[in-house]
Amino acid sequence: MSDHQFVEMSAVQIAAGVRSGAFSAVEVVSAHLSQIANHEGEVRSFVTQMGDRALAGAKAVDEKRARGEELGALAGVPVALKDNMAYRGVETTCSSKILKGWIPPYTATVIERLESAGAIAIGKTNLDEFAMGSSTENSAFSPTRNPIDLSRVPGGSSGGSAASVAARFAPIAIGSDTGGSIRQPASLCGIVGVKPTYGLVSRYGLIAFASSLDQIGPFARSVEDSSLVLDVISGHDDRDSTSLSSKSYSHQPLNGEVKGLRIGVITEMLDGLSPDVERALNQAIESLRALGAIVEEVSVPAAKFGLTAYYLIAPAEASSNLARFDGVRYGVRVEGKDMNETYELTRGQGFGPEVKRRIMLGTYALSAGYYDALYGKAQKVRTLIANDFDAAYGRFDALISATSPTVAFEFDSKSDPLSMYMSDVCTIPSNLAGHPAMSVPFAGDEDGLPIGIQVLAPSFGEGVMFKVAAALEAAADYRPVPQWASTGK
């Protein structure tokens, strides 16, 4: 079997083949490492590559099979990991200078669960510094490029993870989603990205951006693969106080049957869409209707305030979470004449412009005299958003919208922060509500750039969410490929 055949396989196909002995985990990992060697220089999706460690892990899986031992659901499947998740013995930077050289003494629960299921980590992926951004241009090390069109961004903040899957460097990857950081890059790179219900997946080992919003989830090239990965990584964890006590997700066969389901189209998310994105959303609506779903518009009135509320709540939590990076306990230290100057120099040189902007905004929102007027009011808006979504789910089984108002944009094309923040206008409300949502590639614009459709569901509604997503996937006639594959280079 050729390297090309291996890198085009799904996670489900790889795991089945390794378990049956049709091919080895070493062959699979070697093929993906070869793909990385050939094209990573163009994409720059990784902060740290783990080739030797990955091959050793693959050999261990093959030896386990040779002994007749049972293999896990992801046996031999390469996985790329966003570099804001701790991995013992592997540098973890959050793509920030302030953490360069930091080696965690512990491993995130999500990574432990993936490895227990037989998955093999091949590298830590690039991101917007501390997950703050929508293009992966804010990395302290280098921007990541979109494999579908190398002149464009992959989205963010999990742009490295999304790009690694789109580039066929791994069939699955893990990201974190605080305001759309899984779904938006999934849409821009033409893959599937899932933000689960808040608390369904442990955040232990995730370096926090905004603790009440962050959630870990999978990237994949198919809805089936993303469902399987969520099954593996979900479930209670005593080490995470926000982990739900009894809930987990169980992967089920997905047949795309949506006949009779009531699906709402969120009217507040129809404004500001590019013509191509609007056209794709209308095509998705008609496809679902053709499959027997009842699709109608529904209003979620408070959703239009989501962006405003988010950019008070998230920076406020970030200013608190990032206070720990002081040059004393972690990473880089810049010496000053006294401790105060050491703090100032370390943080001044260690953090990039976007992180500093959000720390200052969050500190201001939490300051005496402004707390009630800004942060307190934003939390009230958050409650209104959750209540309005609950009302919508009283009438509909699931909701849909565009994932991103535009396709992938060119580097340096969004020069002011607000235009960049608008990239997440469709994804932020579900983070504020704590509900699950995912992006499914559905169409391409006139230049072939991917357009994703967002499927939203009530808390613990992942089952119906994946059902609708599978129907959209089956109805889509668009399958994006890396630029080098489409040009034959």
Catalytic residues: 82, 157, 181
What is d(CA 36, CA 33) in angstroms, rounded to the nearest whole number?
5
What is d(CA 163, CA 142) in angstroms, rounded to the nearest whole number?
14
* Residue bearing tokens 């892990």: 57
Partner residues linked to 81 by β-bridges = 124, 174
Specify whether the CB–CB gap between 390 and 165 falls below 8 A: no
Helix (H) or strand (E) holding 220: strand 215-220
Tell me the pairing of strands 78-82 and 120-125: parallel
What is d(CA 429, CA 417) in angstroms, rounded to the nearest whole number?
19
Residue 216 tokens read as 């870990």
Q: Identify the DSSP state of 259.
A: T
Q: Helices in 207-271 by DSSP H: which ranges?
A: 223-233
Residues in the chain: 489
Cα separation values, 335 from 254, 343, 348, 351, 448, Å: 57, 8, 12, 16, 51
Cα separation values, 347 from 328, 333, 334, 350, 353, Å: 11, 9, 9, 5, 11
What is d(CA 459, CA 86) in angstroms, rounded to the nearest whole number?
27
Distance of CA 445 to the CA centre of its chain: 22
Cα separation values, 422 from 145, 180, 361, 384, 477, Å: 20, 11, 17, 21, 28
Q: Identify the DSSP state of 376.
A: I
Q: Helices in 107-158 by DSSP H: which ranges?
A: 109-116
The CA-based diameter of the chain, rounded to the nearest angstrom, is: 71
Output Rg (C-alpha) for the chain, integer angstroms. 21
Helix (H) or strand (E) holding 263: strand 262-266
